[in-house]
Amino acid sequence: NQEDEKIGSVKNQLAELFGASLRVTVPDEADVEPLVAACNNNFGDYQCNNAMSLWSKIKAKKPPFRGPPKLGEAIKDNLPASEMIESVSVAGAGFVNVVLSKNWMAKSIQKMLIEGIDTWAPKRPVKRAVVDFSSPNIAKEMHVGHLRSTIIGDTLARMLEFSNVEVLRRNHVGDWGTQFGMLIEFLFEKFPNFEDATETAIGDLQAFYKASKERFDSDPAFKERAQQAVVRLQGGEVRYRQAWAQICEISRNEFYKVYQRLGIHLEEKGESFYNPYIPGVIQALTEMGLVVESEGARVINVEGHNIPLIVVKSDGGFNYASTDLTALWYRLNEEKAEWIIYVTDVGQQQHFDMFFKAAKRAGWLPEDDSSYPKTSHVGFGLVLGEDGKRFRTRSSEVVRLVDLLDEAKTQSKEELMKRGKDKEWTEEEIESTAEAVGYGAVKYADLKNNRLTNYTFSFKQMLDDKGNTAVYLQYAHARICSIIRRSGKDIEELKKTGAVELGNDYERDLALHLLRFAEVVEEACTNLLPNVLCDYVFNLSEIFSKFYDKCKVVGTDEETSRLLLCEASGVVMRKCFDLLGITPVHRL
């Protein structure tokens, strides 16, 4: 089994060793999990922190050792021998510190260079996951909130895919609401022969939506027809279905322009897809006794909320929640997904919490959040303008995402032309570089902060080559590439014939940081926090700079080993870029 051959992160490998020690040290405590963490102190590279909590658990049983420090000593003494470890020591209240072996570190890096970074992929306990992201609404604006969802969701999907999870990337577009009655009726009115048009009649869907809304609000007869149109659409009448399909198609083309620019792959399964399954699911939930009448509607009561979850409206229609419950049922039962992740603004937290609880009541999900199958809501904060208010254009309209991305590209191109006057860019090179740098900047600016905080959208900040930005990282990466290029050495050859040696602390620090890559991805994925990976790659570029500052590479005795360290830094950095959806530039 390929999965079992994977080594796992350094942290997990050490946890296994400490697990073995704990089983010997405290044989009666079968369920203690080894607590191992990277540490930044003078005692070691990793630390096992079990002694204190374990001591309070076992002290009543009068164990042979007295107090946490002695327990720590015992954990240390029972640690199996391993080539990973240089030395072990106990400090303070029983903290067991591990210093990794330089030799082992060097060998691990070399092995990764030869066998590829995929051998450093973390393991995950699930085979298949759904990431429900982007999910804009048809005929409505795809706004910056959807851009956040698109960027965050894509990164999470990439991290899971890297961890060998099959990811169903789902675009849960809002293509099935009462707004369609209004739009269809308006289409009939404006373009009675809409079916014949070779090209779509509606040019600007935004304006079309606005105009039809005005009509809807001002003319009661129109409103009446619009409401009937919903019923006829849902009843499957051909002309209504055609009109609906045409409206969806126009929106879809707009959305996909954004996805294409950002290099994001998504599979659309919109709300309408789940519609035929809703009655059956509600029926099943009713038979379980979960669905009850309340003020004419049918609802599910869930704990911790003072309102119930409405699953059938008083007019008999279904809503956002009925669709989401049904989609969850489908994903669990038809698609056999074990982890279902939803990426939306935090404003929707209550909705998610409520239908997750309903699903638990139905027995679809275990009560305990640490077991699978499980659902996670990945919430995020607002996008603010530089004035600290909700991000808008000057005319206070919502910002068109395509325009925003164009602007990022334009500004990064200007900057590149200014800086690289001496470079002979071909037109093609400058275009692709401006895209990589500009779009990368937008993505990284979104991902680098904890997603729950609001973030301020500023081209100036995100394109600054001195801050914690994608531009800065792109330069750091391009510099690594240029060091290797300028050495004139064949790096593929060196990987096979040369050896990594960690002579001084700068080399060792860099190697240690590289070796932490797998556990960082694992943590980012477990907690669904892409900013953890951003911190890592930013630190990598800083640690690399320090190394390069102090350690001359080309023309020294250590040249081969240092070039290999440069290459390993480049490989890890590129993988980080890849996971963040950023295209690396090799020359800047």
Half-sphere exposure of 282 (CA within 13 A, CB side): 25
Please identify, using beta-carbon distances, which residue of 342 and 517 lies nearer to ligand ARG.
Answer: 342
Element at 292 (helix H, strand E): strand 291-294
Please identify, using beta-carbon distances, which residue of 144 and 518 lies nearer to ligand ARG.
Answer: 144
CB of 75 to ligand ARG, least distance (A): 46
Please identify, using beta-carbon distances, which residue of 174 and 181 lies nearer to ligand ARG.
Answer: 174
Residue 577 tokens, joined: 């870029």
CB of 148 to ligand ARG, least distance (A): 11
CB of 350 to ligand ARG, least distance (A): 12
Please identify, using beta-carbon distances, which residue of 161 and 268 lies nearer to ligand ARG.
Answer: 268
The reply to whether 584 sits near ligand ARG by the rule CB under 6 A is: no
Query: Taking contact as CB under 6 A, which single stretch among the options 132-140, 156-164, 244-252, 507-515 is the one that binds ligand ARG?
Result: 132-140
Distance CA(339)–CA(375), nearest Å, equals: 6
Please identify, using beta-carbon distances, which residue of 73 and 132 lies nearer to ligand ARG.
Answer: 132
The reply to whether 344 sits near ligand ARG by the rule CB under 6 A is: yes
Residue 420 tokens, joined: 């690289």
* DSSP-assigned letter for residue 137: B
Query: Taking contact as CB under 6 A, which single stretch among the options 1-9, 23-31, 55-63, 135-143 is the one that binds ligand ARG?
Result: 135-143
Please identify, using beta-carbon distances, which residue of 108 and 323 lies nearer to ligand ARG.
Answer: 323
Query: Taking contact as CB under 6 A, which single stretch among the options 41-49, 134-142, 210-218, 511-519 is the one that binds ligand ARG?
Result: 134-142
CB of 308 to ligand ARG, least distance (A): 18
The reply to whether 150 sits near ligand ARG by the rule CB under 6 A is: no
CB of 328 to ligand ARG, least distance (A): 8
- Sequence-distant contacts of 445-449: CB under 8 A, at least 24 apart: 445/469, 445/470, 446/147, 446/148, 446/151, 446/152, 447/151, 447/152, 447/155, 447/530, 447/531, 447/533, 447/534, 447/580, 448/531, 448/534, 448/535, 448/538, 449/531
Query: Taking contact as CB under 6 A, which single stretch among the options 38-46, 62-70, 133-141, 235-243 is the one that binds ligand ARG?
Result: 133-141
Distance CA(364)–CA(358), nearest Å, equals: 9
Please identify, using beta-carbon distances, which residue of 344 and 561 lies nearer to ligand ARG.
Answer: 344
Kindly tell me which residue out of 174, 177, 181, 570 binds ligand ARG, with binding defined by CB under 6 A.
174
Would you list the DSSP string of 408-462?
HHHHHHHHHHHHTTTS---HHHHHHHHHHHHHHHHHHHHHSS-TTS-EE--HHHH
Classified as helix, coil or strand, 236 is coil
Please identify, using beta-carbon distances, which residue of 319 and 449 lies nearer to ligand ARG.
Answer: 319
CB of 529 to ligand ARG, least distance (A): 19
* 489 Cβ neighbours under 8 A, 6+ residues apart: 559, 560, 563
Please identify, using beta-carbon distances, which residue of 101 and 319 lies nearer to ligand ARG.
Answer: 319
Please identify, using beta-carbon distances, which residue of 255 and 457 lies nearer to ligand ARG.
Answer: 255
The reply to whether 583 sits near ligand ARG by the rule CB under 6 A is: no
The reply to whether 324 sits near ligand ARG by the rule CB under 6 A is: yes
Determine the residue with CB nearest ligand ARG. 135
Distance CA(206)–CA(424), nearest Å, equals: 42
The reply to whether 342 sits near ligand ARG by the rule CB under 6 A is: yes
Query: Taking contact as CB under 6 A, which single stretch among the options 108-116, 128-136, 460-468, 532-540 is the one that binds ligand ARG?
Result: 128-136
- Tell me whether strands 85-91 and 383-384 are parallel, antiparallel or unpaired: unpaired
The reply to whether 132 sits near ligand ARG by the rule CB under 6 A is: yes
Half-sphere exposure of 578 (CA within 13 A, CB side): 14
Would you list the DSSP string of 336-383?
--SEEEEEEEGGGHHHHHHHHHHHHHTTSS-SSTTSSSEEEEEEE--E
The reply to whether 137 sits near ligand ARG by the rule CB under 6 A is: yes
Please identify, using beta-carbon distances, which residue of 179 and 411 lies nearer to ligand ARG.
Answer: 179
CB of 143 to ligand ARG, least distance (A): 9
The reply to whether 69 sits near ligand ARG by the rule CB under 6 A is: no
Q: Is cis: bond before 80, omega within 30 of 0?
A: no
The reply to whether 522 sits near ligand ARG by the rule CB under 6 A is: no
CB of 317 to ligand ARG, least distance (A): 17
CB of 327 to ligand ARG, least distance (A): 6
Distance CA(360)–CA(174), nearest Å, equals: 25
**By rule CB under 6 A, what count of residues binds ligand ARG?**
10
Residue 375 tokens, joined: 């659902």
Q: What is the dihedral of CA 550, 555, 560, 566, to 10 degrees?
A: 40
Please identify, using beta-carbon distances, which residue of 378 and 500 lies nearer to ligand ARG.
Answer: 378
Neighbours of 494 (CB within 10 A): 19
The reply to whether 172 sits near ligand ARG by the rule CB under 6 A is: yes
Residues that bind ligand ARG (CB under 6 A): 132, 135-137, 172, 174, 324, 327, 342, 344
